Structure 1
Amino acid sequence: MGLFRLLFWIAIIAAAFWLWRRFTRPARRSEQHRQSPAPMVRCAHCGVYLPRDEALTKADQWYCSQAHLEQGPKPGER
């Protein structure tokens, strides 16, 4: 009977430890929830790379700011 009681308490302690670890650790991010990196484009005027969502476009060329969009591509390029 003593062995049964010992195994019972070991199982209870192991279960409590497992539950504690499960709820205190940060959640794992699955591969499906990861965001893919934003596509980057190069400014036709200064050459800086920036996310395509933040870039301005004109005639199939990307620009980092309104000023560079108005100035156009760097001389000697396209």
Structure 2
Amino acid sequence: MKLLLWAGIIFAVIWILRSKKSSTKVDSPKTPQAPLESAEAMLSCAHCKTYFPASEAVYDSSNTAFCSIEHRAQHVVR
């Protein structure tokens, strides 16, 4: 019976020490992420006013940007 009691005490001490060791562990400082090499410009559609990447723009003869060919065709200049 004494052996079982000592085994329980030793197990409890080891378990407590391990839990304290893991909770006091110092994390390494986070390295800042590298900035994006090139952020793409966003444009606003002249017809629906939504924003979209400049690489997807459709232009008319007056160099107005649209998000799609359909909006370029539907756009009425006021």
How does the TM-score come out when normalised to structure 2? Answer: 0.49
Q: Which has the larger radius of gyration?
A: 2
Higher helix share: 1
How does the TM-score come out when normalised to structure 1? Answer: 0.49
